[in-house]
């Protein structure tokens, strides 16, 4: 059975990723890309749905693990009564076939190790045809093939491949597994390379990449680890950033809030861009911006909230009935029907990203300019419509306050882009529209009794997305209505000191979906709360919350989507890009104070910080 979510570490090659358990079992791996079917899917079921266990046969007295410096090379050390041995797991940044390497190292005594390899293609549904070819184990099924080479004898039994062997001090035994299309040629030893040489090259690649990071003086290790995680979630062929490498890890154990996150969300755009730019990674930031321009090209009325890693739009959702789900949390879903939702806020996030690029002295080329104009023109037609909102509720559409504010952001940033680029444009109608949206939100989006903003027009509930209002510059952070909103979020949505997205006990979308109420604290909104506290001058409170959030990371510095404050465990897909982006941005913000570069500000504030337009 899979372990707790926090027991998993990630390795990857910037095209896909594997999750390695504290017990030495790789329980999740999709090949050749993040969003392709898994060949190891035990994470969402049990070992016969595919896994590769490599660990001592005898009971383990102690286990510890670490990434080897600033790399994505994982070292897990097992101590038994007979000795000490390590397993080093990594995936080299791709130059040949997709490759997984596992190196067993002996440290003390003689440790009997066991390898239990169960390849199951198509999310555990296909038991492959396995053959021995030139001393290698070759498995094919459907469209996929894997070749496994081992320095020890491996035997087939009951649809799995096993080995048992001893390691002593100085031993280094390297196992490799390479993917290939089942109709293609089996990768040779030369195609894969010397695994020990590849390990050195992989470690050097990650260390060289991490050495470029510009991190704050406080919390540098946490920020650098989050940047490495973010890079690992980047899909190198296109520059897209995968929200998470997993699907269907639950937001509530035993519940149905199980979604596929192996795609790129537009609302991640500005947050991710800031995290990369503020940390010195302009190449990755530019690649992400280019991915977004390609993905959203076309008719503005067909703008989606998310796209495939390669920019594709059809993300048809289906359930995998043969998988019981993580700890019985069914259904297991692939694809995501939310891609077809109308979410007004993505216009604001997309325009904000382009505005950020312009403020960083990156000129908009004609294609980008045309796209920006196309989007803002369409916004004029749709901003008054209800939508599904930032949390992708699957009930009736509503006039979400956050969505309307992000429509205001879109117009505000459009005005700023025109001003900064000097393009000829009559801005009077746009300024009037910006004022109209602002006035409507302030009139219809506030609870008059509490003088705070609410989740949607006519509601009295608050929503953690309201924490964005100060961060995008909708109102000054010390405005009494924003101060009251932050207070209301803390009063209504905090459980054991952590913020939930919204109340789920009586949520209308839960009633429509038939979903059981309840979920964990959404980690990104907690970083937003820390940003708000900082902007309000409550620095000590902001730092205290931020450091509590750092304490939620697992032993190798990874965060999932949510935290369960009752059972004290991580929930949701892992590692979650949004959580690590929030960590990076808030660390920069806290280190820089009120003028921290991670804080999103209105054009008026940006003009003050950056000087006059050129």
Instruction: Give tens-digit pLDDT for 205-243.
Output: 999 999 999 999 999 999 999 999 999 999 999 999 999
pLDDT tops 50 at residue 443: yes
Q: Rounded to the nearest 10 degrees, what angle do helices 523-535 and 577-592 cross at?
A: 10
Instruction: Give tens-digit pLDDT for 157-170.
Output: 999 999 999 999 99
- Concatenating the DSSP letter of every residue in 102-157 gives EEEEEEEE-EEEEEEEE--HHHHTBPPEEEEETTEEEEEETTEEEEEE-SS--EEE
Average pLDDT over residues 53-68: 98
User: How many alpha carbons fall within 13 Å on the CB side of residue 45?
Assistant: 21
Please state, in angstroms and rounded to a whole number, the distance separating the CA atoms of residues 489 and 453: 10
Least confident of 145-154, 417-426, 574-583: 417-426
User: How many alpha carbons fall within 13 Å on the CB side of residue 229?
Assistant: 32
185 DSSP assignment: P
Q: Locate 217 and state its tokens.
A: 């003086």
**Residues 5-188+198-209, CATH architecture:** Distorted Sandwich (2.70)
3-state secondary structure labels for all residues of 390-445: CCCCCCCCECEHHHHHHHHHHHHHHHHHHHHHCCCCCCHHHHHHHHHHHHHHHHHC
Of 296, 488, 287, nearest in space to 376 by CA: 296
Predicted pLDDT at 431: 97
Please state, in angstroms and rounded to a whole number, the distance separating the CA atoms of residues 264 and 249: 17
3-state secondary structure labels for all residues of 146-163: EEEECCCCCEEECCEEEE
Provide the 3-class DSSP secondary structure of residue 300: helix
Average pLDDT over residues 396-414: 96
Contact 244, 262 (CB under 8 A): yes
pLDDT tops 80 at residue 563: yes
Predicted pLDDT at 341: 84
pLDDT tops 60 at residue 506: no
Predicted pLDDT at 394: 66
Please report, rounded to a whole number, the percentage of residues in the chain having pLDDT higher than 70.
Answer: 93
Predicted pLDDT at 103: 98
Please state, in angstroms and rounded to a whole number, the distance separating the CA atoms of residues 133 and 117: 17
Average pLDDT over residues 122-129: 97
Q: Locate 45 and state its tokens.
A: 């079921």
**Surface-to-core class of residue 546, CB atoms within 10 Å of its CB (0-12 exposed, 13-18 middle, 19+ buried):** buried
> What is the CA angle 449-451-456, rounded to 5?
90
How many other CB atoms are there within 10 angstroms of residue 318's CB atom?
12
Predicted pLDDT at 528: 96
How many other CB atoms are there within 10 angstroms of residue 169's CB atom?
14
Fold of 212-600: Glycosyltransferase (1.50.10)
pLDDT tops 70 at residue 595: no
Radius of gyration of the chain (CA): 25
Least confident of 19-23, 71-75, 448-452, 594-598: 594-598
β-partners of residue 149 are: 176
Q: Locate 530 and state its tokens.
A: 């820390």
> What is the CA angle 100-102-105, rounded to 5?
160
Please state, in angstroms and rounded to a whole number, the distance separating the CA atoms of residues 226 and 106: 30
Average pLDDT over residues 138-152: 97
Comparison of pLDDT for 602 and 370, the residue scoring more: 370
β-partners of residue 26 are: 20, 52
Contact 50, 42 (CB under 8 A): yes
Q: Locate 375 and state its tokens.
A: 């989007």
Each domain of the chain, given as residue ranges in start order, spans 5-188+198-209, 212-600
Average pLDDT over residues 327-350: 91
Average pLDDT over residues 32-51: 98
Predicted pLDDT at 411: 97
Least confident of 50-59, 77-86, 276-285: 276-285
Q: What region does 572 belong to: left with phi over 0, alpha with psi -120 to 50, or beta?
A: left
pLDDT tops 50 at residue 608: no
pLDDT tops 50 at residue 466: yes
Least confident of 186-200, 356-370, 421-435: 356-370
Predicted pLDDT at 357: 85
CA dihedral 603, 607, 609, 614 (to 10 degrees): 130
Residue 528 sits at φ, ψ, to 5 deg, of: -60, -40
Please state, in angstroms and rounded to a whole number, the distance separating the CA atoms of residues 10 and 28: 10
Please state, in angstroms and rounded to a whole number, the distance separating the CA atoms of residues 398 and 396: 6
β-partners of residue 84 are: 79, 108
Average pLDDT over residues 43-48: 97
Banded model confidence at residue 115, pLDDT cuts 50, 70, 90 = very high
Q: Locate 539 and state its tokens.
A: 């620095």
Please state, in angstroms and rounded to a whole number, the distance separating the CA atoms of residues 262 and 247: 7
Instruction: Give tens-digit pLDDT for 184-207.
Output: 999 999 999 999 999 999 999 999
| Cβ partners under 8 Å of residue 417, min gap 6 | 351, 354, 355, 358, 364, 372, 423
Positive or negative: CA dihedral 248, 253, 254, 255: negative
User: How many alpha carbons fall within 13 Å on the CB side of residue 463?
Assistant: 22
Of 411, 418, 451, 416, nearest in space to 435 by CA: 411
Banded model confidence at residue 518, pLDDT cuts 50, 70, 90 = low
- Concatenating the DSSP letter of every residue in 489-551 gives HHHHHEETTEE-SS--TT-HHHHHHTPPS---EEHHHHHHHHHHHHHTT-HHHHHHHHHHHHT
Q: Locate 395 and state its tokens.
A: 């009930």
């Amino acid at each position: 059975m899979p372990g707790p979510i926090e027991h998993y570490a990630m390795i990857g090659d910037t095209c896909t990723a594997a999750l390695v358990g504290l017990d030495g079992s790789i329980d999740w791996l999709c090949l050749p890309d993040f969003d392709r079917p898994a060949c190891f899917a035990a994470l969402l079921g049990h070992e016969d749905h595919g896994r590769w266990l490599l660990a001592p046969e005898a009971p383990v007295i102690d286990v510890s693990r670490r990434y080897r410096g600033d790399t994505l090379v994982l070292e897990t050390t097992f101590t038994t009564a007979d000795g000490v041995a390590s397993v080093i797991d990594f995936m080299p940044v791709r130059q040949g076939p997709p490759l997984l390497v596992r190196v067993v190292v002996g440290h003390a005594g003689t440790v009997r190790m066991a390898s239990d390899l169960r390849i199951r293609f198509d999310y555990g549904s296909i038991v492959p045809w396995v053959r021995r070819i030139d001393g290698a184990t070759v498995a094919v099924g459907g469209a996929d093939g894997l070749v496994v080479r081992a320095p020890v004898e491996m035997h087939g039994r009951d649809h799995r491949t096993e080995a048992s062997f001893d390691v002593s001090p100085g031993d280094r035994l390297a196992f490799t597994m390479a993917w290939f299309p089942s109709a293609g040629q089996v990768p040779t030893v030369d195609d894969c390379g010397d695994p020990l040489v590849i390990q050195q090259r992989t470690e050097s690649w990650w260390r060289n990449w991490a050495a470029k990071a510009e991190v704050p003086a406080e919390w540098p290790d946490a920020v650098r680890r989050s940047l490495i995680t973010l890079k690992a979630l980047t899909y190198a062929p296109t520059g897209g950033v995968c929200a998470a490498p997993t699907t269907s890890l639950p937001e509530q154990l035993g519940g149905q809030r199980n979604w596929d996150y192996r795609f790129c969300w537009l609302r991640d755009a500005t947050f991710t861009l800031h995290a990369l730019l503020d940390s010195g990674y302009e190449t990755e930031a530019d690649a992400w911006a280019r991915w977004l321009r390609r993905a959203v090209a076309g008719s503005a009325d067909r703008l989606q909230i998310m796209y495939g890693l390669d920019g594709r739009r059809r993300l048809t959702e289906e359930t995998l009935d043969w998988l019981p789900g993580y700890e019985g949390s069914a259904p297991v879903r692939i694809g995501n029907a939310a891609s077809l939702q109308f979410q007004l806020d993505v216009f604001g996030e997309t325009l904000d990203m382009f505005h950020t690029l312009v403020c960083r002295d990156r000129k908009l080329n004609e294609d980008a300019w045309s796209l920006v104009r196309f989007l803002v023109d369409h916004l004029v037609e749709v901003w008054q419509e209800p939508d599904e909102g930032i949390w992708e509720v699957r009930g009736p559409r509503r006039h979400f306050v956050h969505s309307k504010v992000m429509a205001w952001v879109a117009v505000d940033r459009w005005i700023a882009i025109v001003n900064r680029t000097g393009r000829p444009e009559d801005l009077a109608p746009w300024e009037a529209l910006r004022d109209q949206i602002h006035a409507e939100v302030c009139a219809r989006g506030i609870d008059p009794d509490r003088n705070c903003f609410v989740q949607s027009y006519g509601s009295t509930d608050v929503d953690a997305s309201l924490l964005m209002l100060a961060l995008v510059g909708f109102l000054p952070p010390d405005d009494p209505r924003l101060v009251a909103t932050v207070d209301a979020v803390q009063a209504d949505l905090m459980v054991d000191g952590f913020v939930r997205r919204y109340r789920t006990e009586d949520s209308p979308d839960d009633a429509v979906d038939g979903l059981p109420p309840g979920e964990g604290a959404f980690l990104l909104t907690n970083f937003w709360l820390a940003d708000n506290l900082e902007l309000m001058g409550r620095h000590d409170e902001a730092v205290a919350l931020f450091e509590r959030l750092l304490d939620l990371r697992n032993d190798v510095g990874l965060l999932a989507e949510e935290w369960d404050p009752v059972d004290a465990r991580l929930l949701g897909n892992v590692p979650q890009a949004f959580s690590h982006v929030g960590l990076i941005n808030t660390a920069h913000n806290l280190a820089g104070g009120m003028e921290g570069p991670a804080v999103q500000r209105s054009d008026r504030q940006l003009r003050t910080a950056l000087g006059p337009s050129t």
